[in-house]
Amino acid sequence: MTDACNAAAMLAYLTGAATGGPAPSAVGQKFTASGEVLPYAGNTFLCHIPPGPAHEALTATAARLRAGAPAGAYAYLPPASYHMTVFEGVTDRDRTGGRWPEGLDPALPVETVTRTFLPRLGGLDLPGGLRIRPTGIFAGTTVQVGGATEAEETALRDARLALRAATGIRRADFAEYRFHITLAYLLRWLTPDEARAMADLSATLAAELAALQPEIALGGIEFCRFADMHAFPLIARLS
């Protein structure tokens, strides 16, 4: 089971108490209220989860979450999209503050920003062959992860520093960012009973996943574009 603090955070998130509003933030941006994917263009720096036992375990975990979820509550991602974000790039929907590169006009098309990044990334030498460990499942949506060792956690954090310097993206939440693998997005607030059931299921499946796959090998760090949340095609390999 999860610790009491994480369980309380899950309940607050799932019921809407943490953020308020008529619906979770993905609705109307990344998905419709009924779960159809919406256009959401951008670029990002990530490691795909390569085919193999870990990918199969994540796919099976998502299937069990889907089977236990309340009707109409989640939009599930295609397993081919599974990845761990190392550093968030830009999106067409959010051009504010530290989410947009310093010195670039916020009115620029995302594809122009992508082309601007490419020469800046040419001199980077980012680590490859990294491993992570699952540490929890949050609210039926994401597998929380960290570096499999302290050295690998440091390597991931150092990669983030290098990408921040190269891109000029200086998000306010940079230091607090938690690595994760997204399996689904929440579409509606849950009732307290539904939220407790999903928090319990998340804790149970997190323990099973950690026992089955104590380490997950990542693909190399990639610079990718996306038109929506269902696919993240490669632009350039960075490790």
Q: Would you say 232 and 42 are in contact if contact means Cβ atoms under 8 Å apart?
A: no
Q: How far is residue 181's CA from residue 216's CA, in Å, rounded to a whole number? A: 11
| 33 part of a folded domain | no
Q: How far is residue 160's CA from residue 209's CA, in Å, rounded to a whole number? A: 26
Q: What is the pLDDT of residue 141?
A: 98
The tally of domains found in the chain comes to: 1
In CATH, what number is assigned to the domain containing residue 136?
A: 3.90.1140.10
pLDDT at 230 exceeding the cut of 80: yes
Mean pLDDT computed over every residue of the chain: 96
pLDDT more than 90, % of the chain: 95
For residue range 180-199, what is the model confidence (pLDDT) as tens digits? Answer: 999 999 999 999 999 999 99
Q: What is the pLDDT of residue 1?
A: 39
| 102 part of a folded domain | no
For residue range 39-71, what is the model confidence (pLDDT) as tens digits? Answer: 999 999 999 999 999 999 999 999 999 999 999
Q: What is the pLDDT of residue 176?
A: 94
Strands (E), 117-203: 131-138, 142-147, 180-182, 184-186
Q: What is the model's pTM? A: 0.95
| 103 part of a folded domain | no
Average pLDDT over residues 211-226: 98
| 26 part of a folded domain | no
- Supply angle C-alpha 126, 132, 138, rounded to 5: 120
Domain that holds residue 164: 4-20+40-91+108-237
Please tell me the number of Cα atoms within 13 Å of 66 on its side-chain side. 15
| 155 part of a folded domain | yes
pLDDT at 4 exceeding the cut of 70: no
| 25 part of a folded domain | no
| 120 part of a folded domain | yes
Cα Rg of the chain, angstroms: 18
